[in-house]
Structure 1
Amino acid sequence: MIDIFTTGGTIDKVYFDALSEFQIGPAAIPDMLRENNVHVPHRVTQLMRKDSLELDDADREAIRVAVAASDAARILVTHGTDTMVLTGRVLAGIPGKTIVMTGAMQPASVRASDAEFNVGFALAAVQTLPPGVYIAMNGMIFDPATTVKDRAGQRFVQQ
């Protein structure tokens, strides 16, 4: 069983009309997994619906508590990319769990989104990596302790 915790972020943003900005909508991952015929046993829990720039220390602690309390050894967390590394560092040290974080640079609701690829890649990673905390983005695995987001390059890089 893979526990999937959603927190919001770009992956869950939706655009309602030409006059509005993106807003965080319901978790995109249940529909994404169903539409892509994914059958790996999983359960999805929406922890919050926030842009990662709005997450604070209390939110990060709530994510840590949920991950630590899960009876699953394999955890996938969808998260906004701007502060994903920070939350990944907070999750470090939870014993006996493989924790993989992923997100998207473009909302899942947008045709050219990287969301579906990143989620599929993260699902494979969480099933194969040893215990620890990882970021799975755009075909690469990163250690949150030594990673930063390159906003201009729209990618993560090792320091």
Structure 2
Amino acid sequence: MDKPSPPALAPILVVTTGGTFDKQYFDALSEYQIAESVIEKLLKVARVAHPVRVVELMRKDSLELTDEDRAAIRAIVASAPEAHVVITHGTDTMTDTAKVLADVSGKTTVLTGALAPARFAESDATFNLGMAFACCQSAPEGVWITMNGSVFNGLKVRKDREAGKFVSI
């Protein structure tokens, strides 16, 4: 008797928007700028075998995101065939984008970011990305934020700038 095949893994859509996650230090300019996304490289280094599609939507600091940018993020999530979505996003306005995504049905959407650029040796980016992958596969439909080892309801969280972390509200 043949063994049944295991169920196929539901693909994950990763949407990159910029933020600290993708910042790079440019010595000549003495400032940070958002560079090409490092997501594909991080997934390769981590040997991620899960089916994934990466869309680099924009390269912006979240403080520069407009209502039109958030509408574009919402549109790509709402129209995507994938039910599991990870969005890399700057932490300063991550909760604003979560609110815009709140009424998208049929999706488990997880926003994550970094407090230090992924290109830095001591960055939280890779861990946060892994948390987001786990969360989007296990959490119920809705909008979530994963940061620094915690999972938050995307509509019941805020960034505590003084403490340098996210906290439930």
Work out whether the TM-score is over 0.5: yes
SS at match of 1:117: helix
Aligned residue in 2 for 1:124: 134
CA distance in 2 between counterparts of 1:141 and 1:11 reads 18
The code of the aligned residue for 1:102 comes to: T
Q: 1:57 is aligned with what amino acid?
A: D
2:113 corresponds to 1:103: yes
1:44 aligns with 2:54: yes
- Code of the residue aligned with 1:129 in structure 2: it is A
Contact residue 2 and residue 73 of structure 1 kept, 8 A: yes
1:32 partnered with 2:32: no
Q: Distance in 2 between matches of 1:61 and 1:96?
A: 18
Structure 2 counterpart of 1:134, one-letter code = W
State the distance in 1 between where 2:74 and 2:123 align.
28
Give me the identity figure in percent.
52
For 2:32 and 2:166, how far apart are their aligned partners in 1?
23
Amino acid at match of 2:18: G
Q: How does 1:55-134 map to 2 (within 5 A)?
A: 55-134=65-144
Q: Distance in 1 between matches of 2:79 and 2:29?
A: 42
Task: For 1:125, give the aligned amino acid.
Answer: C
**How many Å apart are 1:40 and its aligned residue?**
0.8
- The higher radius of gyration belongs to 2
Matched-pair contact (CA < 8 Å) for 2:143–2:155: no
Equivalent residue letter for 1:45: V
SS in 1 for 2:31: coil
**Can you give the 5+ residue segments of structure 1 that lack an aligned partner in the other structure?**
none
TM norm structure 2:
0.92
Q: Displacement, 1:113?
A: 0.5
2:167 is aligned with 1:157:
yes
Instruction: Give the superposition deviation at 1:144.
Output: 2.2
Task: In structure 1, give the amino acid aligned to 2:63.
Answer: L
CA distance in 1, matches of 2:151, 2:60: 24
User: One-letter code of the match for 2:147?
Assistant: M
Give the distance between the partners of 1:123 and 1:20, measured in 2 at CA. 34
Q: CA separation in 1, counterparts of 2:146 and 2:28?
A: 32
Aligned positions, number: 159
8 Å Cα contact 2:98/2:111 also seen in 1: yes
Unaligned runs of 5+ in 2: 1-10
Q: 1:86·1:144 contact (CA, 8 Å) conserved in 2? A: no
